[in-house]
Amino acid sequence: MSNRMWGGRFAEGPDAIMEEINASIDYDRKLYRQDIAGSKAHVRMLAAQQIVSADDAEKIVGGLDAILKEIEDGTFTFSRALEDIHMNIEARLGELIGPAAGRLHTARSRNDQVATDFKLWVRDTLDTLEQQLSELMLALAEKADAHAGDVMPGFTHLQSAQPVTFGHHMMAYVEMFARDRSRVRDARKRMNECPLGSAALAGTSFPIDRKATAAELGFDRPTANSLDGVSDRDFVIEALSAAAICAVHLSRLAEEIVIWCSAQFGFIKLSDKFSTGSSIMPQKKNPDAAELVRAKTGRIFGSLQGLLVVMKGLPLAYSKDMQEDKEQAFDGLSSVSLALAAMTGMVKDLEPNTKVLKKAAGSGYSTATDLADWLVRVLGMPFRDAHHVTGRIVALAVERNCELHKVPLEDMQAVDPKITDEVFQVLSVDKSVRSRVSYGGTAPANVRKQARRWLKELGKA
């Protein structure tokens, strides 16, 4: 038997393999809310334009509401033979209200229907991601404010570089995730044009009102070109691009949590809520949540790359290849959403070991730059000369196996006789971080100011 949704062109039904490769209902059923919302907007517009009768439109809207309830109650039967969510809903609508259901598809195609449904779903998801990013930024800013003055080592090449504060480190991630939130907002704004009314690819001869359907569905305007309206998937690619960049930031923070939780570092503590044990080693407490956030980054990258490859060679307008867009988006965007939720929980949960951090902050001759700056500021030495003098003093500390502030003054003066005992005032980690008062620097006053600015913006100050 031919698929009755395809009309009279086909005399035979599809081969079983054709049905298997063609069906998308197993995953695109996620779009049921958006599909029903789009259909209701469409039929109301058709009635307003007197393309269908008010009575038929009322029956269709009532039937769609009944289907929505069935799906949400779990009593709706999905059929793979009907391919996708659109045909499943339309077939059930016919069962519920009879011939009037056939008028719903007037002046539209599955091409503009699926583009509209998918845009609505991506837009809803971006709204969720924006809220999740705000919650993560808030958790980081609160942690930064609480630990604005707690010193820790700052690293380059994972080697001790200069002292910073734990709050300053947290605020670095606030800035990263703020850019992610900005990208999400930009992507939402750019995608907010309605494809409905583009029909299959050329528009329609019916006197439809595309501005009305766009407005009812919360779009800023209709798409300006029907070919582009049905074939554009930039909105998904851009959403996944934003998700991929966000995943980079999540993975970097996850990596630091994994390192910081290790016995070798001991910089932070994570509670049992975000840790797991070992089946054989009873002493183990593993930061599995952080490791899984780090790993999900690969899935998110894969979703973006997969969709880019699907779209790269498609001529205008619609091709069935584009059915492969949804699984990529569903997996990638749900993965970043889960990772954001897990990271927010971990940030709220973690507590820095301030004593360990302070001790580590002074290791590795981390105040060497402060010594060089002192030579420039107090003795008027050119920075390159000061860099050389400081390097020689560090070499003395290495030779004596002591910290920089424990090198005797007379040994320093052997390198440069103008050095006085005032130099020891800049060699402590606390004084080092307090001196970094330039805008964006790690001075605790700076960190508190930035943290509280973000707390105010996020509505928690």
Q: Which residues contact 204 (CB under 8 A, 6 or more apart)?
A: 107, 108, 197
Residue among 182, 278, 319, 363 flagged as catalytic:
278
Q: How far apart are CA 22 and CA 38, in angstroms?
A: 23
Catalytic status, residue 278: yes
Which member of 157, 205, 279, 438 is catalytic?
A: 157
Q: Are the C-beta atoms of residues 140 and 49 closer than 8 Å to each other?
A: no
Which 8-state DSSP code applies to residue 406?
A: G
Catalytic residue flag (residue 157)? yes
DSSP state for residue 276 in the 8-state scheme: B
Residue 109: DSSP 8-state: -
CA atoms of 366 and 374, how far apart (whole Å): 14
Locus of tokens 């570092």: 265
Query: Helices 110-146 and 444-457 sit at what angle, rounded to 10 degrees?
Result: 140
Nearest to 412 by CA among 375, 383, 380, 378: 375
Report helix, strand or coil for 70. Answer: helix
CB neighbour class for 421 (10 Å; exposed up to 12, middle 13-18, buried from 19): exposed
Grouping H, G, I as helix, E, B as strand and the rest as coil, residue 232 is coil
User: Which among 187, 180, 182 is positioned nearest to 119, based on CA atoms?
Assistant: 187
> Which residues are catalytic, by number?
157, 278
